[in-house]
Chain A
Amino acid sequence: MSSLEDLSEEEKRKKPMLKKRFYRSQSDLSNDESSGRFKEREFQEGAAFLDAPVSRRTFLKLMGATAALAGASGCSFNFRKPVQTIYPYAKRSEYDVADQSLYFATSMALGEDVVGVLAKSYEGRPIKIEGNPSHSQSLGATGIFQQSSLLDLYDPDRQKNVSYLGKYRSKEDFSAWLKGVSTEHFATQGEGLCILTEAQTSPTFYRLMKRFQLKFPKAKVFSYEPINNDNRLRGIYSVTGRWYQPDYFYDKARLIVSLDSDFLGLESGSLLATKRFANGRDPEKTQNKLSRMYVCEPQLTVTGSKADHRLAIKGLRVEYFLYVLVAKLLDARVVTLPSTLVKQVRRLAFSYEKEVDIDFLRALVEDILKYRKQVLFVAGPRQPEQVHALLYLLNKQLSSRTLHRYRSHAYQQFSFVTESNVTSIRNFAAHLKTGVVDTFLCLGGDPVYQAPSDVDVVGALKFVKNKVHVTLHENDTSTHCDWVVPRSHYLESWGDLKASDGSSSVVQPVIRPLYDSLSDNECMSLLVSSYSDGYRLLRATWRQFSNKQWRSCLHNGVLSVPSSDEWGVSFSDRGCLKALSKVKLFKRNQYMEIGFVSSFLYDGRFSNNGWLQELPDSISKLTWDNAALIGVETASKFSLKSGDVVTLRVKDRDIDIPVFVLPGHVSDSITLSLGYGRRVAGRVGERKGFDVYPMIRTDDFYFAEKATLIKTGDVYPFASTQEHGSMEDRPFYRQANLSHYIKHPEFAKEMVEVENLQSLWKEREFTDGNQWGMVIDLARCTGCSVCTIACQAENNIPIVGKEEVLNGREMHWIRVDRYFEGEGESATAVHQPVACLHCETAPCEQVCPVAATVHGEEGTNDMVYNRCVGTRYCADNCPAKVRRFNYFDYHQRNPQAQSKDRVHFFDYLKEPDPTIQLQFNPNVTVRMRGVMEKCSFCIQRIMKGKSDAGNDQRDILDGEVQTACQQACPAEAISFGNILDKNSEVFKKKDLHRDYHILNELHLKARVSYSASITNPNSHLAHKKESAAHG
């Protein structure tokens, strides 16, 4: 009956016949006992699961059942997975090894900010952006805009083809038309030709612009960016006579005084600033010689939350504070200013002196005297020119040359560059209204949406015959133009960019243009000669490189590094004096001011970017909306609470917008963030939030004064990811000031008494191999939130939309917790990124009924999506609440999702847009609804590292595997590696005194630990604050 026995009988019969001429192994030859067993069995041990041999009856039964089931499955209609054609990857591009990613160095510009990046390309499609370590403005880090720019590339709502009056036209039609226009205008020397461009930093663009201006000397060029550094540039110009751009070394300063500057947040150059600042605040790197920071600002920013002392002050009062400060410094004889200037400053200081928080000022002056030559002053771009001018003078006298350097603006010979943006847009509209312009070319931007409300761009455009808008997305301006031309994304075009420090970097395409688009440079080439592709234009600019040098430039992404520093040698007080004399004397009033700030959507250009829309604001934790941010005092004065809609009115302008009450916001002040409430933006960003541009006027561009606020009675729901701002005295974020830390180095560990906890069962030991662990350094972390978005890009994390954020179902694997400290306008905040803690005794693993979350050999807490049935028990039992559940299939619920060509039961009707599908990381599962997910320590990167190391037959090097959050972090706050390797970065971090685990008392044995934050407050001020708190 048994086939196995039959076989072994046959084997036995055969044996003598073969006479052992052939043998299977050495043991077979020596007639070893085990080999006998091995040979006799056709199926080896473990090969079969059924103990009893299959009988004929069973076989027939099973076959019958199988056939019946197979038949039954055919009965259903449309129940099978849809068939999808895959295209063979037969034609491979050079260097491309299947399943290996390639990195291309390119760079991205945002306003005048240039950041070199590496685009990770997988099978010809960019899937991730990393920082370029060779680029001076990145040094390996990226910001939220760089990370999320990838989604813009694949945005299915992009302008896809050239259209003329809404009708399809080919790119050739447009080229031919523009050529004609160009020829026409050549005769009139460009009379009637007008260009409005976004800020340009490309050497090639300016090379072409030079030719353009030569060819069309009468043509007008304007440049407009609503978010700009005009005041800083012009302020320094007023005293030096040169167009200098400053570069501050926050790491070398011992005292940083920030006047309304969010240099760690959304201001240009924040990546480098964050890195430098974090280095200056690192207790180990500085050997406990931390820098100290004073911040004066109206609304709480990430910079303000990192300050040792923060003064909430109305934005328009910041300059008066400076006058008082300068007056004090003059008294102390540490600065010398021309006597005319001294007189003017004292006059201005006198009017405000009584308003200033005297303790704050006294401590600040004391510290300035203490840290002479190591003081750095920085002011925000919203502050007027005279502030920047004065700060230039202060910096020159109070800090050494190593703390700051100045570089001449690379394109200062172009008047449209040095002209302020406000003037530029005003003149632009006025120029159009003269009626001389018949052809207008708008390179990017959206002046109709972004222009100040007193500049009537729509009206001005009516005077123009031919209007061309070269744009990534259709927006308000394109609806008013006849020609709408798709603009190439930086990841699909050739170009070059020059950063503010003078270094040039290459922009190279990582994918063939998805649509029939043109880059700015290509447009310029059409105007000045004939169409030339981006590469030829670029190569012509950098003709000096040999092909070999050129290849290395493309490899590194850097074309030129900044040459020697320029140092302003002389200055005149005349400019500053002129500016100061215009300053109105301070009048004691309680006028409400409105300040305008940039947001995670920048000036609105990222409004169709779901990742940025859903990224919680660093301070308010708002998603999908902006709000009128007001302080607690203002809220109680007008009896408002978050969500109450108010009518804001300044002179003749008004908007309806809900307020959001935020601790740390100064009273009698409202902050409005730009970029929301777009009427034409695409399916994601349209009508999200509130358009605040109508409140901006050319004369109050950064701040508006004398605002009134009327409660309308309506209530608006806000989707905030963190409703509870208090830490409830629970020691999650641990912080101490420097003197306490020096006295009690183990303070962070001592904050929680942990008994000798024991597990119920024998705990697993993790003593060999790679044991992954992470440390997040809270002294370095600024709360910029780039980790969240880098993780989202790496791990195919869907956006869920405002409704679902309101339901509390956001999917971010790493969140940045924000806790407020203090009350009212003097409140400040701390930031703590929290991802899965990867506990060795993980509570989630114990309770999962199907073993869908299990522990890896290398100490990672792994999710098995295929096994997960979605009981959510793990999430309930997770003390850090880091697990995220797919309550719906969010990829299909995305507004940009499209219908499937075939329906599958339980698999819905929709799928992500084909272009969005290109963005997905192929090494990470795209999760369906009903499964749990969470931080995996970027397990796909660990696997890649292990595979690479295995191929080279070596161990993984420290730093070889970087998690996405770690790689992006500009503050280098995240360390990751093998905790058993004593030389690893992460081991050293875990070995620090200030290392601590959150929720250690639950015996989690978490692999993620934190380094406690160390602050460095002025002892007098800290003492005073403490006694006030206790009194």
Chain B
Amino acid sequence: MGDTSVNYDLQRHPLVEGGPDLKTVSDVISQPVEVKPPTWWLISIVGSISILTLLLSMVGYLVWEGVGVWGLNNPVGWGFAIVNFVFWVGIGHAGTLISAILFLFRQKWRTSINRFAEAMTIFAVICAGLFPGIHIGRVWVAYYLFPIPNSMWLWPNFKSPLLWDVFAVSTYFTVSLLFWFVGLVPDLAMLRDRSTTKIRKVLYGIFALGWRGANRHWQHYERSYLLLAALATPLVLSVHSIVSFDFAVSQLPGWHTTIFPPYFVAGAIFSGFAMVVTLMVIARELFGLKHIMTLHHLECMNKIILATGMMVGYAYAMEFFMAWYSGNEYEAFAFVNRAFGPYYWAYWIMVSCNVLSPQFFWFKKLRRSIPFMFVISIFVNIGMWFERFVITVTSLHRDFMPSSWGYYKPTFVDVCTFIGSFGLFFTLFLLFLKFLPMIAVFEIKGVMPQANPHAHDGEGHVKN
């Protein structure tokens, strides 16, 4: 056995552990959709809907009373809303990266997590999209932001990064949604075929778009999925680059930095992967999917977290270097003020969560420890939220003219709206878990040994 164990190490790790047969895979993944929801699900959905209600009431209060219910003031015109927006958009990025880029690179380990991650993307973008919508002073004229033809020939200002944002985020959302939906079609057909009630049959049937699993269907599917993956790939880079333009294109010291686009993209992937880890660790436990979402998957993601975490760390260091190297007093002050000014605590929370905490993933043991990675992933999410807070608020609160310097304190509405956005996210996510297969069943089957016509020839023989 000694020889085989050496060989085993060199072998690719099986993507589905335990060697289940194809039917078992279908059964296991469809089970949550088909059986009565477990108690924890009912408790969670009640919890998240109540948090969602908090969000709705906060938004209602905001619209009724005015943006003044937030803690914004004259130097600090952007606060929690923009921070939350960038935070949620960033989280969304992991999904697209996993599903599109890893797909194009033929990273087969993605199959067990891509559906999950894509769903997270959609819901995160929904949460993100909420904030720019409600943060404006007059929500009832939000449509001015869209290039709607009108009798006055009045167009939005195409020079404004905020407008680019509108296009970037809406494109991103559309493409992500399509990508997700297209990937869902074969599985929806499976659910339709497995359904025992009329309603389920009709509803899943509608969304399955008449999928019969024909060769032609598969051909079309593969082609369109590939195209959508190719479309979504540049979006991973472009969306967060454009979000970073909101800051980088302005001339505020601390915002006006050319490093922002790559830095934001790295940060987005960083936070997105952390969020996927957080959610996956819980989901695989609750649904008994440990053999499909394996430790190997999680380890792969932790490696990416480590890599992107260091990119972010590099960006932090480089910002300081450039602030000094530029010789610009305002720029230099902005960064010194970040680390040692009134918001020093936010900066150091950010650095310790984003740069220091992922360093533990150098150790294989820690990388593969479920409780440990869960904690680290939470830290990364906290850190990344603070990163956006640091960028947005500390740059604004002390800019050029000392006479206008101020301090921003969030109000309870700020905080509750942020908490409420998690309610929206988790409500959508729980509904997803209940009504859609959380893992791409047909894709999983594709990476199982059975899918390989030569499965019985090689070393990867699986005993039935």
Residues of A within 8 A of B (CB): 49, 722-724, 726-728, 730, 732, 804, 807-810, 815, 817-819, 832, 834, 843, 845-851, 867-873, 875-877, 879-881, 884-889, 906, 928-932, 999, 1002
Contacts and interface: CB of A to CB of B under 8 A. Distances in A.
Contact of A877 (B74, B136, B252): B252
A818 B142 CA distance: 38
Nearest to A843: B251
B151 interface: yes
Nearest to B141: A869
A730 B138 contact: no
A885 B137 contact: yes
Contacts of B163: 849
A884 B68 CA distance: 13
- A-B pairs, top 3 by smallest CB distance, nearest first, are A870-B137, A930-B137, A808-B73
A869 B68 contact: no
Contact of B66 (A868, A887, A999): A887
A953 B405 CA distance: 48
Given A849-B156, A851-B155, A870 B138 contact: yes
Interface in B56-100: 63, 65-68, 71-78
A879 B140 CA distance: 29
Contacts of B159: 846-847
Contacts of A871: 135-137, 162
A870 B157 contact: no
A724 B403 contact: yes
Contact of A881 (B135, B157, B399): B399
B138 A881 contact: no
Contact of B250 (A843, A880, A930): A843
Given A815-B403, A819-B402, A881-B401, A930 B136 contact: yes
Contacts of A723: 405-407
27 contacts: A723-B407, A730-B329, A732-B402, A810-B74, A815-B403, A819-B402, A843-B250, A847-B162, A848-B157, A848-B160, A848-B162, A850-B156, A851-B155, A867-B154, A870-B67, A871-B137, A873-B77, A873-B162, A873-B246, A881-B74, A885-B72, A885-B74, A885-B77, A887-B67, A889-B66, A928-B138, A930-B138
A887 B68 contact: yes
A728 B402 contact: yes
Interface string B417-438: 0000000000000000000000
Contact of B166 (A849, A872, A887): A849
Given A723-B406, A808-B73, A849-B156, A867 B144 contact: yes
Nearest to B409: A807
Contacts of A846: 157, 159-160, 249
Interface string B124-150: 000000000001111011101100010
Contacts of B400: 730, 879-881, 999
Nearest to A726: B402
Given A808-B406, A810-B74, A931-B138, A873 B160 contact: yes
B316 interface: no
Contacts of A884: 74
Given A723-B406, A727-B402, A885-B74, 5 more contacts: A849-B156, A872-B137, A873-B246, A879-B401, A885-B67
Contacts of A727: 402
A868 B67 CA distance: 14
Nearest to B71: A807
A843 B256 CA distance: 12
Nearest to A722: B403
A849 B405 CA distance: 25
A809 B68 contact: yes
Nearest to B79: A872
A1002 to B, nearest CB: 6
A847 B402 contact: no
Which one of A810, A849, A886, A906 has the highest number of Cβ atoms from chain B below 10 Å of its Cβ? A849
Nearest to A880: B401
A848 B405 CA distance: 22
A869 B142 contact: yes
Contacts, number: 164
Nearest to A760: B159
Nearest to B142: A869
Contact of A847 (B67, B136, B250, B399): B250
A928 B67 CA distance: 12
B160 A849 contact: yes
B136 A851 contact: no
Nearest to A800: B68
B137 A817 contact: no
B404 interface: yes
Contacts of A815: 403
A888 B66 contact: yes
Interface in B245-265: 246, 249-252
A724 B399 CA distance: 12
Which one of B137, B157, B399, B406 has the highest number of Cβ atoms from chain A below 10 Å of its Cβ? B137
Which one of B156, B251, B333, B407 has the highest number of Cβ atoms from chain A below 10 Å of its Cβ? B251
A804 B145 contact: no
Interface in B386-401: 396, 399-401
Which one of A727, A876, A881, A929 has the highest number of Cβ atoms from chain B below 10 Å of its Cβ? A876
Nearest to A1003: B251
Given A728-B402, A847-B162, A1002-B251, A887 B156 contact: no
B133 to A, nearest CB: 11
B138 A851 contact: no
Contacts of A877: 250-252
Nearest to A873: B162
A732 B137 CA distance: 31
B383 interface: no
Contacts of A722: 403-404
A877 B252 CA distance: 6
B161 interface: yes
A205 B289 CA distance: 97
A156 B163 CA distance: 45
Given A726-B402, A848-B160, A886 B154 contact: no
A849 B163 CA distance: 5
Given A724-B402, A807-B71, A809-B74, A870 B155 contact: no
A723 B403 CA distance: 7
B116 to A, nearest CB: 34
B83 to A, nearest CB: 13
A804 B403 contact: no
Contacts of B252: 876-877, 879
Contacts of B403: 722, 724, 732, 815, 817-819, 832, 834
Which one of A819, A846, A850, A886 has the highest number of Cβ atoms from chain B below 10 Å of its Cβ? A850
Contacts of A817: 401, 403
A932 B74 CA distance: 11
B332 to A, nearest CB: 11
A881 B137 CA distance: 18
B66 A851 contact: no
A887 B137 CA distance: 7
Nearest to B165: A849
A868 B157 contact: no
B166 A879 contact: no
Nearest to A731: B329
A505 B254 CA distance: 58
Contacts of A730: 329-330, 400-402
B68 A888 contact: yes
Contacts of A931: 137-138
A849 B407 CA distance: 26
A875 B156 CA distance: 18
Contacts of B142: 869
A849 B157 contact: yes
A51 to B, nearest CB: 12
A293 B396 CA distance: 40
A503 B401 CA distance: 45
B405 A906 contact: no
Nearest to A806: B73
B149 to A, nearest CB: 8
Given A846-B159, A847-B161, A876 B396 contact: yes
